[in-house]
Structure 1
């Protein structure tokens, strides 16, 4: 009976020792954790309300028609200038040919007008010579009439001779005036055709602009990658009819740097400064830390940019701590190769200044 009592006593002592040791370890661990947490809280501002961001842009059709060919799949990497989509361009090319024909016709008409101007100028030059000849004849007839008039007064010429000279003088005067009028008409025709040339040149410029637009419409039927990127979600299939402005796919820019939007509480931003270094840990890669740098703080809280911002002047007021978006540029070169993509959750830690 005494031996059994001693055995239980030893067991109880052992359990007590083990329990005490475990309690001591837990106490020490809690103390260490408390010290680390207090140290971190005192020296760092942390938040887990943060996500990786990248430029995600839609690929938009600038021309409508049936899709002839699609050269990509979802999640595929493409290089700048690679052809993504080919749209049926037959109608656009026909329109381009029609406009090109109209341009050639207008240019030919301009050449005809230029030739007419040259011809009319030659005619006007001939008109000048005709005026000079008519003027010389008029002067001669005036002299003949003057002499005949004096001879008639001296009864050395007959009245018929005087009348004949007077008729010749009137004819010469009329010929001279007709030559002047013909010359003025030729000069006016030159001016008219020159004005028609200006109209033709304006028409050519208009048709050239239309032709350039037709060429653009043809070029829009081939959609290329604007930069090195990865294809995201695609929303079209070959043979599908699309309209101008329709979204065809989404692409993620791989030429620009990634960044983090960390939503810090308003009680934390007093310690955040632009240029401050940050430590970033992604949930997808625990234990792996990336470096970053604050490049900007939002000018307003996130709720202020919502579709319907809160109006605290109405209803019952409950104070809610607001969050300020902070943009942190990833400066670590591993951010691209490590597999960080837009939308990933991360933890951000910034040292208090």
Structure 2
């Protein structure tokens, strides 16, 4: 009797389990086909976000690293420090060159003052030479008239004429000396402009060296979470080298869904989208279609397919669709770039 009762209980349980499983399959099938009827869907989708690279502006050996894998950082936090010795020496050299250029100005000023005084002396000499020339010209004219009246000898006239030529030569020489002195003064003024330009260049070079020293300390540009650490202390890095990636948790995130080309014929910009994230299966995320790629995903590959070569096998292509997430920033903070998603686009 007891065995018959147990058999009946087992048969009853088996029957109810079978009925439950059948109902579950029916309900799941109904939901699946209902979704397939109402939605265009794909599980080839991922969350995406901007990854900001942290690059080195100057090269050198890494002195200290102040972050760890996946660490949260604040804007202005020190991430990496590069050894300073070489850049300190370059700054000292640039500073010394700038001081050398500055010392040229007092010397040039003294030369200008000396040249100005020389010009004043030559001008005084020129005035005397001009007066002497005027007097000698008058003497020449007087003897010329006397010679015409036969009141003097030819010898005296020749002596006066020679004196006039000598006086004229002295005057011309003094005048030329004045022009040379003034030209030299202008040269000094040009040198001053050249030295001022040289000083500006060396000031800029010194500022550049100071910037390089500043760049040896690499700071976080904004609040976010650092990625994987791929560098080590003592490592030699080059200018422009990527040291890490920083993700801003509060910045815009979106989903890239790769739909089959047969699914997108009725897609429109602004169309509502429902999203399920594998990491959070109990939550729904909302979005809208922001844009559709102008080409299939295969066209972005390193070696895009060429159907004109070899035998042709038709393969349904996929079109990347960018979906803008519309939920609150607080809700989207927990999403990480690369998370898998299921995307459902309501059919019109």
Listed one character per residue, the Cα deviations across residues 119-176 of structure 1 (whole Å, up to 9, x for unaligned) are 4345435434433332221111111232244445556556776555444423321221
Equivalent residue for 1:243?
238
1:249 is paired with a residue whose SS is strand
Q: Unpaired runs of 5+ in structure 1? A: 1-9
2:282 is paired with a residue whose SS is coil
Equivalent residue for 1:295?
290
Listed one character per residue, the Cα deviations across residues 45-68 of structure 1 (whole Å, up to 9, x for unaligned) are 111111111222332323222222
2:231 is paired with a residue whose SS is coil
Distance 2:300 2:150 in 1: 117
Equivalent residue for 1:7?
none
Distance 2:94 2:145 in 1: 75
- Alignment coverage as a number of residue pairs: 346
Distance 1:336 1:27 in 2: 37
TM-score, normalised by the number of residues in structure 2: 0.85
Pair 1:210–1:336, CA change in 2 (3 A)? farther
Task: Say what the alpha-carbon RMSD is for the aligned residues.
Answer: 3.3
The Cα of 1:106 is off from its aligned counterpart by: 1.8
Equivalent residue for 1:76?
71
Correspondence 1:26-37 to 2 at 5 A: 32-37=27-32
Contact 1:77 1:231 in 2 (8 A): yes
Correspondence 1:122-141 to 2 at 5 A: 122-141=117-136
Correspondence 1:208-247 to 2 at 5 A: 208-247=203-242
The Cα of 1:207 is off from its aligned counterpart by: 2.5
Pair 1:152–1:320, CA change in 2 (3 A)? closer
Correspondence 1:82-97 to 2 at 5 A: 82-97=77-92
Contact 1:57 1:250 in 2 (8 A): yes
- Residue range with higher mean Cα deviation, 265-274 or 162-171: 162-171
Distance 2:75 2:252 in 1: 17
Match of 2:36 among 28, 34, 41: 41
- Residue range with higher mean Cα deviation, 335-344 or 155-164: 155-164
Correspondence 1:308-319 to 2 at 5 A: 308-319=303-314
Pair 1:338–1:216, CA change in 2 (3 A)? closer
The Cα of 1:24 is off from its aligned counterpart by: 6.7
Q: Unpaired runs of 5+ in structure 2? A: none
Contact 1:134 1:172 in 2 (8 A): yes
Equivalent residue for 1:6?
none
Equivalent residue for 1:173?
168
The Cα of 1:13 is off from its aligned counterpart by: 11
Correspondence 1:143-158 to 2 at 5 A: 143-151=138-146
1:46 is paired with a residue whose SS is strand
Alignment of 1:196 with 2:191, yes or no, is yes
Contact 2:249 2:333 in 1 (8 A): no
The Cα of 1:288 is off from its aligned counterpart by: 0.5
Pair 1:16–1:171, CA change in 2 (3 A)? closer
Distance 2:286 2:222 in 1: 26
Contact 1:53 1:260 in 2 (8 A): yes
Contact 1:230 1:251 in 2 (8 A): yes
Pair 1:319–1:155, CA change in 2 (3 A)? closer
Listed one character per residue, the Cα deviations across residues 281-319 of structure 1 (whole Å, up to 9, x for unaligned) are 111111111122221111111111111111222223222
Equivalent residue for 1:332?
327
TM-score, normalised by the number of residues in structure 1: 0.84
Contact 2:48 2:255 in 1 (8 A): yes
Distance 1:97 1:78 in 2: 34
Distance 2:9 2:146 in 1: 172
Pair 1:122–1:17, CA change in 2 (3 A)? same
Equivalent residue for 1:102?
97
